[in-house]
Amino acid sequence: MLEIQHFLKKYSTGFQLEIDSLLLNEGIHLIQGQNGAGKSTLFKAIVGIQTFQGEILLDDLNLEKKPLAFRKKVNYAEAEPLYPEFLSLSELILFVAKAKEAPRDQIERLKSSFGVTEFMEQPVATYSSGMLKKSSLLLAFLGQPKLIILDEPFTTIDKSSLENLIELIKLKKTEGVNFLISSHQTEFINLISFDSVHTISKGRIQ
């Protein structure tokens, strides 16, 4: 499903992440690592918002050669999402849904699944951290992604949202969607059956 070859990302700070070869088959994959290990760096490279050396392929789709087609198939919810504060979630949904060609009925189902209808017309500036997190998670499910990357998805959201999120991940897996998930929340990790677990440490992944 996802193949990474000869990957190298170096920051001016001296940090570097190097992956000779990594192949992730279909399924749900957990990426672990301490603060600053390089999880977000890897995720940002995979979604095409971070430069790197090497090759990343989603099935036969090469990120460097077909960036637009690749990005349509890969969705991402950042650990700490940031959006223009004057926009509402409703407006963000319209924007992302258009870019990702999300079907109308999917949008309605996701709104109810994440329980955002009460606040989605308000500007982002008024959102609590949980409202912001739910917004970014909802946006990550829009369209027909082959891979959804969720960076720390279990933080700040309430119990019922968390249960809904886990059910949605499991449902999407049955529909052929793959996941890369990072989390420091070990109590929630146990609620998902991961197909593989990888740890980033000292600039390498195992």
Ligand X SMILES: Nc1ncnc2c1ncn2[C@@H]1O[C@H](COP(=O)(O)OP(=O)(O)OP(=O)(O)O)[C@@H](O)[C@H]1O
Residue 153 near ligand X by CB under 6 A: no
Q: How far is the CB of 107 from ligand X (least distance, A)?
A: 29
6, 11, 59, 158: residue in contact with ligand X (rule CB under 6 A): 11
Q: Which member of 2, 28, 38, 92 binds ligand X (CB under 6 A)?
A: 38
Interface residue with ligand X, options 39, 71, 133, 134 (CB under 6 A): 39
- Residue 151 CB, shortest distance to ligand X, in Å, is 7
Q: Are 2 and 24 spatial neighbours (Cβ–Cβ below 8 Å)?
A: yes
Scanning 7-15, 20-28, 62-70, 99-107 for contacts with ligand X by CB under 6 A, the matching segment is 7-15
Q: Is 51 in the site for ligand X (CB under 6 A)?
A: no
The only residue of 19, 37, 165, 205 in contact with ligand X, by rule CB under 6 A: 37
Q: Please, what is the end-to-end C-alpha distance for the chain in angstroms?
A: 18
Candidate list 7, 28, 41, 150; residue touching ligand X; CB under 6 A = 41
Q: Tell me the C-alpha distance between 44 and 51, whole Å.
A: 9
- C-alpha gyration radius of the chain: 17
Which of positions 52-91 make contact with ligand X (CB under 6 A)?
79
Instruction: Pick between residue 36 and residue 176 the one whose CB is nearest to ligand X.
Output: 36
* β 178-182/196-201 pair status: unpaired
Q: Under the criterion CB under 6 A, does residue 5 sit at the interface with ligand X?
A: no
Q: Which of 33, 81, 143, 145 binds ligand X (CB under 6 A)?
A: 33
Considering only residues 12-31, where is the footprint of ligand X by CB under 6 A? Answer: 13, 15
Q: What residues make contact with ligand X under the rule CB under 6 A?
A: 11, 13, 15, 33, 35-41, 79
